[in-house]
């Protein structure tokens, strides 16, 4: 009888991280409390650790730990944080069961020029090369986090730079891959988005104080006004003289992660000028045109299948209905003593709504299929609840390739679409039919966005250099230490 840890979302690509920063101009703002609320708004991007760092007169005081925002912060520990001029926040996802406390962020370092705090979202693709170089020169790392590497690079560059901005610009020449970054020097808040713009980063204003964060939904949650997205390759510097912007590096082609629209971002966010909800709805509409079917109801798999299901319903005229009830009180990781408990645990997490699906031909929309186990379970739940037909529609193309830019899609062997055709997957999951959104359809879901797109995990065409090393090598933990 073996005990096991089971990740109820293991058949999903995982989110990465959420970043937040505020430069306080208005004395009345309680920036610690604001950061906490913003991190609640970003919780969907990472649930394994959370942290807030306060810059008080150039020194940083930080509260961070493993766990969700509600578990990490208490009145007691937050009361230890002063109301500083600059406050950074971070929520983090890590793909490892063996959670790494040292990688929690914001990361605070002390070096010859003072202190530095950093919050990062993305994945540095030349991590191995840079780390090797630094370690060869005697560098010692406390963690495997990308943030520590970036901080090390900036600190090294700062020695021969006249300002922190110059050090950041020089560092951007060295690091490659995906980074939406917020950092605080003693006097400045700096935000930087990589030249491809893989991950979101936006600017807002709360009274007269500037706020930078991953998604606009976090601005909404603190009552801040959305000003604009930070451009790919743009560095924003906020200090006592105000806001300064500079494009410090450009790429041949911008490549925002399409999977942010499909699954990662919250539907109430607007990214690159496009509502995530409307992009998902459009995916559902196109999906119907590409894979029409006769049915009685359309349902979505909570949460990210719901918007696409509405689009499918609109395009097809098939009524939209709630097909599943999700138990919001179960965390990602749950433990049990029997292997056969897995199915019960999944059922506890997600249950079919018999009153709506019994005797019906059901179209069920999900955002993706990674290994196929969850889809198989979903089809079974619907059939057990009395659905007479189950037609699975997926609001993205088949996942066939790893992601190197900050999403936990790492091994081709794990991807069912890499081993099976759509017909074979359909038989494996037990559906009556299966249809994926095409690559062409995907390219249209946010066609008025002010940016180019990455669809590497679907097409195999990556818009930026990918790591030279084998993905799973002695540094694999570093490469996929998602932030
Ligand atoms: S490879 Fe896929 S998941 Fe990764 S950045 Fe590109 S679209 Fe997003």
C-alpha closest to that of 291 among 232, 363, 198: 363
Helix H or strand E encompassing 238: strand 234-239
* Distance in Å, CA 260 to ligand 1 centroid: 8
Helix H or strand E encompassing 376: helix 373-384
Q: Which residue among 279, 400, 455, 471 is best mutated to probe the pocket of ligand 1, counting the most ligand atoms within 8 A of its Cβ?
A: 455
Fold equal for 14-255 and 274-328+342-449: no
Query: Pairing relation of β-strands 209-213 and 202-206?
Result: antiparallel
* Distance in Å, CA 462 to ligand 1 centroid: 8
**Ordered DSSP codes for 438-449:** PHHHHHHTTTT-
What tens digit of pLDDT does each residue of 254-298 get? 999 999 999 999 999 999 999 999 999 999 999 999 999 999 999
Count, residues in the chain: 483
Instruction: Tell me the three state secondary structure of residue 202.
Output: strand
Whole-angstrom Cα distance, residue 59 to residue 79?
17
User: What's the pLDDT band for 14 if we cut at 50, 70, 90?
Assistant: low
C-alpha closest to that of 48 among 99, 12, 11: 99
Q: What is the mean pLDDT of the chain?
A: 90
426 is catalytic: no
What tens digit of pLDDT does each residue of 230-260 get? 999 999 999 999 999 999 999 999 999 999 9
403 lines ligand 1 (CB under 6 A): yes
User: What's the pLDDT band for 11 if we cut at 50, 70, 90?
Assistant: low
C-alpha closest to that of 464 among 152, 168, 256, 182: 256
* Distance in Å, CA 149 to ligand 1 centroid: 22
User: What's the pLDDT band for 169 if we cut at 50, 70, 90?
Assistant: very high
Asked if residues 9 and 65 have their Cβ atoms less than 8 Å apart, the reply is no
Percentage of residues of the chain with pLDDT beyond 90:
81
Q: Which residue among 123, 179, 257, 402 is best mutated to probe the pocket of ligand 1, counting the most ligand atoms within 8 A of its Cβ?
A: 257
Tell me the CATH architecture of domain 14-255.
4-Layer Sandwich (3.60)
What tens digit of pLDDT does each residue of 291-340 get? 999 999 999 999 889 999 999 999 999 999 999 998 877 765 544 555 56
User: What's the pLDDT band for 385 if we cut at 50, 70, 90?
Assistant: very high
> Would the CA dihedral through 176, 262, 477, 473 be positive or negative?
negative
pLDDT on residue 332: 52
455 lines ligand 1 (CB under 6 A): yes
pLDDT on residue 103: 87
Helix H or strand E encompassing 65: strand 59-66
pLDDT on residue 369: 95
pLDDT on residue 175: 97
pLDDT on residue 472: 43
Tell me the CATH architecture of domain 274-328+342-449.
3-Layer(aba) Sandwich (3.40)
346 lines ligand 1 (CB under 6 A): no
Q: Give the start-to-end residue ranges of the domains of the chain.
A: 14-255, 274-328+342-449
pLDDT on residue 406: 86
Helix H or strand E encompassing 54: strand 49-56
C-alpha closest to that of 281 among 397, 153, 444, 392: 444
How much is the average pLDDT of 328-353?
68
pLDDT on residue 144: 86
The residues with which 203 forms a beta bridge, in sequence order, are 212, 228
User: What's the pLDDT band for 479 if we cut at 50, 70, 90?
Assistant: very low
pLDDT on residue 229: 98
pLDDT on residue 89: 98
Instruction: Tell me the three state secondary structure of residue 48.
Output: coil
How much is the average pLDDT of 103-124?
95
Query: Pairing relation of β-strands 297-300 and 17-23?
Result: unpaired
What tens digit of pLDDT does each residue of 65-106 get? 999 999 999 999 999 999 999 999 999 986 554 467 888 999
pLDDT on residue 412: 79
What tens digit of pLDDT does each residue of 171-219 get? 999 999 999 999 999 999 999 999 999 999 999 999 999 999 999 999 9
Q: Which residue among 179, 258, 400 is best mutated to probe the pocket of ligand 1, counting the most ligand atoms within 8 A of its Cβ?
A: 258
Active-site option among 17, 202, 457, 463:
17
């Amino acid at each position: 009888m073996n005990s096991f840890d089971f990740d109820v979302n293991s058949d999903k690509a995982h989110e990465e991280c959420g970043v937040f920063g505020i430069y306080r101009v208005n004395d009345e703002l309680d920036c610690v409390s604001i950061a906490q609320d913003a991190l609640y708004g970003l919780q969907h991007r990472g649930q394994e650790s959370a942290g807030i760092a306060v810059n008080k007169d150039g020194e940083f005081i930080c509260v961070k730990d493993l766990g969700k925002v509600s578990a990490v912060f208490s009145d007691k520990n937050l009361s230890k944080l002063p109301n500083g001029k600059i406050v950074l926040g971070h929520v983090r996802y890590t793909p490892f069961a063996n959670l790494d406390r040292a990688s929690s962020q914001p990361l605070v370092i002390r070096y010859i020029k003072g202190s530095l705090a950093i919050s990062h979202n993305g994945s540095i693709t030349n991590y191995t090369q840079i780390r090797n170089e630094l370690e060869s020169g005697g560098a010692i790392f406390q963690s495997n986090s990308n943030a520590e590497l970036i901080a090390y690079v900036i600190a090294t560059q700062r020695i021969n730079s006249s300002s922190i901005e110059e050090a950041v610009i020089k560092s951007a020449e060295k690091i490659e891959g995906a980074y939406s970054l917020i950092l605080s020097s003693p006097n400045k808040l700096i935000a930087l988005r990589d030249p491809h713009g893989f991950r979101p980063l936006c600017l807002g204003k709360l009274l007269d104080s500037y706020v930078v964060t991953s998604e606009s939904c976090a601005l909404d949650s603190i009552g801040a006004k959305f000003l604009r997205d930070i451009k790919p390759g743009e560095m924003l510097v906020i200090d006592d003289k105000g806001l300064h912007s500079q494009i410090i590096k450009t790429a041949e082609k911008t490549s925002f992660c399409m999977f942010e629209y499909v699954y990662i971002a919250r539907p109430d966010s607007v990214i690159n000028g496009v509502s995530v909800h409307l992009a998902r709805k459009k995916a559902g509409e196109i999906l119907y045109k590409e894979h029409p079917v006769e049915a009685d109801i359309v349902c979505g798999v909570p949460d990210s299948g719901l918007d696409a299901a509405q689009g499918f319903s609109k395009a097809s005229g098939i009524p939209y209905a709630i097909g599943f009830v999700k138990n919001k009180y179960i965390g990602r990781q749950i433990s049990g003593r029997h292997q056969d408990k897995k199915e019960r645990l999944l059922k506890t997490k997600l249950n079919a709504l018999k009153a709506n699906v019994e005797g019906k031909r059901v179209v069920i929309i999900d955002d993706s299929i990674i290994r196929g186990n969850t889809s198989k379970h979903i089809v079974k739940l619907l059939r057990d609840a009395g659905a007479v037909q189950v037609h699975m529609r997926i609001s993205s193309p088949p996942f066939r390739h790893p992601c190197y830019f900050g999403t936990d899609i790492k091994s081709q062997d794990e991807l069912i679409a890499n081993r099976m055709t759509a017909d074979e997957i359909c038989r494996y999951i037990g559906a009556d039919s299966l249809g994926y959104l095409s690559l062409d359809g995907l390219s249209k879901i946010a066609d008025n966005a002010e940016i180019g797109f990455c669809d590497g995990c679907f097409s195999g065409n990556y818009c930026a250099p990918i790591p030279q090393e084998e993905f799973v090598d002695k540094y694999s933990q570093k490469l996929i230490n998602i932030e």
